Copies of this chain bind each other. A is one copy, B any other.
Amino acid sequence: MKKIGKQTYNIKDDVVIRDTFTVVGTKEGEGPLKNNFDLIVDDLWGEDSWEKSERKFQKTAIETLLNKNRLQKDDIDLLISGDLLNQIVSSSFAARDIGLPYIGIYGACSTMALSMGVGSLLIDGGFASNVICATSSHFCSAEKQYRLPLEMGGQRPMSSQWTVTGSGAVWLSNTGKGPKIKNVTFGKILDLGVTDANNMGAAMAPAAHDTLKQNMLDTKIDYDLIVTGDLGIVGKSIVNRMFHDENMSIEKKYDDCGTIIFDIEKQDVHAGGSGCGCSAVVFGSFLYKKLLNKEIKKLLFTSTGALHSPTVSLQGDSIPGIAHCIGIEG
């Protein structure tokens, strides 16, 4: 068994992150990472619905990643993707147009690490040579589905987060050069009873703490940087406090994609960025570049998901959280 410790999978063979492609919307393109993204477009991008626009983001990310590397369909064994929309419709329609054998996954905002985790194991297990992992989210399609119609102009509390409009695609391969995925920890679902759809950071923080801690206990690796997906300032502070209370403080080397992607004070995003696209585009641009140029040598990349369902929330249910970790060496 290729397990280290209790819950972490060890990747012995090479799983190389060969390349990435990121495309984001206007607001993300005005933020601190604007020079890191591959493509910045307007949020509707010529489509007549937010859903069709989100699909175009994901399809473009995957297709451009293939094209810029001169990859043909036959070069890729599997596409693994998912997103926030019901029936992961952005992913399935993008996958339909791209025509690769397809594994659809759902992990809410934990999708990027989940897809890279499954992809890594399938490559290391000898089942695939090249895998494309992708996800997307869109502020407007997400608000419409999960909260309130944008046209209503509802007031958002300070704990709410801004769903990132963007898509990231990652090419994993068993050959070539680049940062390598060394371990994967799939998380458990934790639920501390948060019921506020405008406080996803708090809903996800316990799961983030649990999977991060498990990975660190299992691997005993001293990471340069630990990054969570989209906890925002509320969730990030809870995670810091949970580790601090256990005398395992990670504060000095810990950051969150939701606080990296926006200028929280100037961009009016309340508690920060969120959505599947958040960790996908921050990883595929900013973090990937830092791994390539060796600014980061050991990265613990964690995507965090709030398994929020509007239907069962109306029936009184809470919002469980999950997090998946990927250990990467630059």
Contact = CB atoms under 8 A, between A and B. Distances in A.
Contacts of A128: 1
Given A92-B320, A127-B3, A186 B78 contact: yes
A100 interface: yes
Contacts of A263: none
State the copy count for this chain.
2
Nearest to A92: B307
Interface in A208-245: none
A93 B126 contact: no
Contacts of A126: 1-2, 125
Interface stretch (A38-46, A83-91, A296-304): A83-91
Nearest to A101: B186
A312 B187 CA distance: 31
Contact of A311 (B86, B92, B108, B307): B86
B103 A118 contact: yes
A190 B101 CA distance: 11
Nearest to A11: B127
Interface residues of A, number: 59
A278 to B, nearest CB: 17
Nearest to A174: B1
B99 A188 contact: yes
Contacts of A125: 2, 121-122, 124-127
A250 to B, nearest CB: 21
A322 interface: yes
B102 A186 contact: yes
B103 A2 contact: no
Contacts of A310: 86
B315 A189 contact: no
Contacts of A182: none
A103 B101 contact: no
Contacts of A103: 105, 107, 114, 118, 186
Contacts of A100: 188
A57 to B, nearest CB: 15
Interface in A172-215: 185-191
18 contacts: A1-B127, A1-B129, A2-B126, A51-B311, A82-B106, A87-B309, A88-B106, A96-B189, A96-B191, A102-B188, A102-B189, A103-B107, A103-B186, A104-B107, A105-B105, A118-B118, A124-B125, A125-B127
